Amino acid sequence: MAEGLLKYTKGDTYAIYSAGTRPSVVRPEAITVLAEIGIDISKNRSKSVDEFAGKKIDYVLTVCDNAKGNCPYIPAVTKLIHHAFDDPAEVKGDAETRLSAFRRVRDEIDAYIKTDFVSILEQK
């Protein structure tokens, strides 16, 4: 969700990529809750951080504590920014309960990107 929100907010300024330490699939709930606010991630795919090894990356935003602790070596030119959000994929329950968790985290990520994260980027 962070990739979709960042591309929507800053995609005209930055090349934005998303990767995980344990890639699997793009969750249908993420596709649904971003579509609700006009962002289409239905063509996205889950990628491993290994796909970006050796590439010049200016900023790395980790959005969960597991990713922060398991990120591969990042060159010194990269600025690592960490902000933990709950993982909505871990929420159990019926479809509406899971969608509610994804909406809450979507909104938290969106608010963070539009305030704190944009301020960090503008300090460069």
Residue 42 has what DSSP assignment?
T
Q: How many CB atoms lie within 10 A of CB 12?
A: 7
Please report the pLDDT score of residue 63 as a whole number.
79
Domain boundary assignment for the chain: 2-122
Token duo for residue 106:
């979507």
Q: What is the CATH number that goes with domain 2-122?
A: 3.40.50.2300
Q: How many CA atoms lie less than 13 Å away from 82 in the CB half-sphere?
A: 9
Count Cα atoms within 13 angstroms, Cβ side, for 53.
8
Q: What is the pLDDT of residues 40-69, one digit of tens each?
A: 999 999 888 888 877 888 888 877 665 445
Distance (Å, whole) CA 48 – CA 54? 13
pLDDT in tens, the chain (124 residues): 999 999 998 889 888 888 877 788 899 999 999 999 999 999 999 888 888 877 888 888 877 665 445 555 555 457 778 888 998 999 999 999 999 999 999 999 999 988 887 777 777 5
